Structure 1
């Protein structure tokens, strides 16, 4: 899914990009895309082909809802702020509070979600492979292994 409106967005030379040079896109203004947070589409700007890479910007209370994917493996790194993670199966989820410097990951069919619980803007680096519109699954509808 392309998030950049400009058909010819600025492409950095040698695929080097500073965080401050990537525009923040307000997803609340993009139809049919949730969550309603801000993102920097690093993958699009650096023309990544085999992985997705976004910086997600959260205000207090914003979240990525509890979900899973059938194919995508996701990797997260907290740059700023404090987040409450919900990880694992619906019948026995684990809740973990994390802050800057914390990594977490979710593989295919692994339910996960996170809510921003800090007071200022929170920022998470999210990487995913394979990229694209991997289907989003409701963990409550998955069959138990």
Structure 2
């Protein structure tokens, strides 16, 4: 049928070793095909430099500004993303988001694969 939640009703979680705060929207919605998460960053916070094994990821800046580093092979780009910007990153590209101010990011990964992130060693 469908699932509906209100943002404020999704529990905030602090993950060990991860700076931004997570709201696991996909878990709350019981999404089967996508992994949905909202990450809340303080100014200067960054996530781990990582890539995905299988998931393509779609990002939407809900609020604030980010510097995003994306690497694939010898190519490296640093992008500035602002509110209402959209970004898609393929699984094999390394990425890291750093908040330039308090910021909120929606991340949607597909397919819905648990523990798909590969961290830089």
Q: TM-score, normalised by structure 1?
A: 0.74
Give the total of aligned pairs.
120
2:106 is matched with which residue? 125
Decide which of 4, 18, 29 is 2:6's aligned counterpart.
18
Larger Rg: 1
Partner SS for 1:45: helix
1:94-139 per-position Cα deviation (integer Å, ceiling 9, x unaligned): 1111110101111121121110111xx210000001221114053x
Q: Residue 70 of structure 1: CA displacement?
A: 2.2
Structure-2 residue corresponding to 1:85: 68
Is the Cα contact below 8 Å between 2:10 and 2:24 reproduced in 1? Answer: yes
Q: Which runs of 5+ in 1 are unaligned?
A: 1-13, 29-33
Aligned to 2:15: 27
Q: 1:135 to 1:58 in 2, by over 3 A?
A: closer
- Aligned-partner Cα distance in 2 for 1:75–1:97: 16
1:107 alignment counterpart: 90
Cα distance in structure 2, aligned partners of 1:114 and 1:90: 19
Say whether the 8 Å CA contact 1:43–1:53 is kept in structure 2: yes
Give the aligned partner of residue 41 of structure 2.
58
1:17-44 deviation line (CA, Å, top 9, x unaligned): 111111211224xxxxx42221111111
- Please give the alpha-carbon distance, in whole angstroms, between the structure 2 residues aligned to 1:38 and 1:90: 30
Partner secondary structure for residue 47 of structure 2: strand
Bigger relative CO (Cα 8 Å, ≥ 6 apart):
2
